[in-house]
Amino acid sequence: MRLAFQVAYIGTNFYGSQMQPGLRTVEDTLISACRDLGLFDDWRTAGFAFSGRTDRGVHARGQICAFTTSLPDRARERLNYILPGDCWCSGWAETAETFHPRFDAESRTYRYYIHDDGSTDLSLMQKAAELLPGTHNFTHFSRLDGKNPEKTILSSEVRAEDGFYVYEIMAPGFLWNMVRCIVTALIAVGRNELDTDDLTALLTGAPNMRHLTPAPPEGLILWDIDCGIAFTPLESSDRMIYAFRERNRFFETMKKVNMLLD
């Protein structure tokens, strides 16, 4: 049976999501847990896959992984018990054998938390965020590595929440560092270091514009991925308690992130 799981993690102590020899990553952690439970022997044979990668320090609320196993009940009932405190599954679903969480993803949503220290004008950031929906050239917002710089943004907004400015963006897909570079641009507009004309020029890939530096990874959360699947919630109260404790540390980190953006 092929299963999909919604995966959440605090990215602080992971070297990103993608497998890397000798380093603690989210994929390695989940694969090791599955092997310990006897869910599969070889992750390749099981078709283990994530919806996408996150960099070191980036968190997730709604990452999706999928694999095929002959022990679905054991996977649903035991996986959360042997995963570490900073990684847990919040939901599960049975899928078609052909399901691939990356290629079947219809949209991805990210949130970035910016500490409101009074130096950034929310209304200016909101006006800048409204320029993002549509198809643009993100040459100055990413490390392309030969990829097409054009991406289509479905929604983009900034709002105030719990002493933070929360930037939320949704698109079918993103380039490497793209969201974090967008955040850098929005903050620069909010601090009158760039104006909306500058942002518009950046979104055309104008050659005379400088490449943006990505905002720190600690503020970024992979919030949701829409694969057209309805997930059944999993019991993960102990993980929620851990996450609640980490939430305070996370917010303190976000206050320090603002210093790094200066």
Same domain for 100 and 8: yes
Residue entry with tokens 């209304």:
123
The verdict on residue 79 lying in a domain is yes
Outline where the chain has alpha helix (H): 26-36, 72-82, 122-129, 178-190, 196-202, 237-261
Same domain for 189 and 171: yes
Same domain for 123 and 82: no
The whole model's pTM is what? 0.91
pLDDT at 201: 94
CATH for 193: 3.30.70.660
**In which region does residue 160 sit, left (phi positive, over 0), alpha (psi from -120 to 50) or beta (all else)?**
beta
- Identify which of 103, 220, 116, 209 has the alpha carbon closest to the alpha carbon of residue 159: 116
**Running along the chain, 262 residues long, what does each successive block of 10 average in pLDDT?**
95 94 96 97 97 94 96 95 91 96 97 89 97 97 89 97 92 96 97 94 90 93 95 73 56 56 46
Q: Please tell me whether residue 149 adopts helix, strand or coil conformation.
A: coil
Same domain for 143 and 88: no
Give residue 113's domain range: 107-220
- Identify which of 33, 40, 41, 28 has the alpha carbon closest to the alpha carbon of residue 1: 40
Same domain for 167 and 93: no
Lookup: tokens for 193: 């270091």
CATH for 42: 3.30.70.580
Taking the C-alpha atoms of residue 107 and residue 134, their distance in angstroms, rounded to an integer, is: 14
Active site members: 55
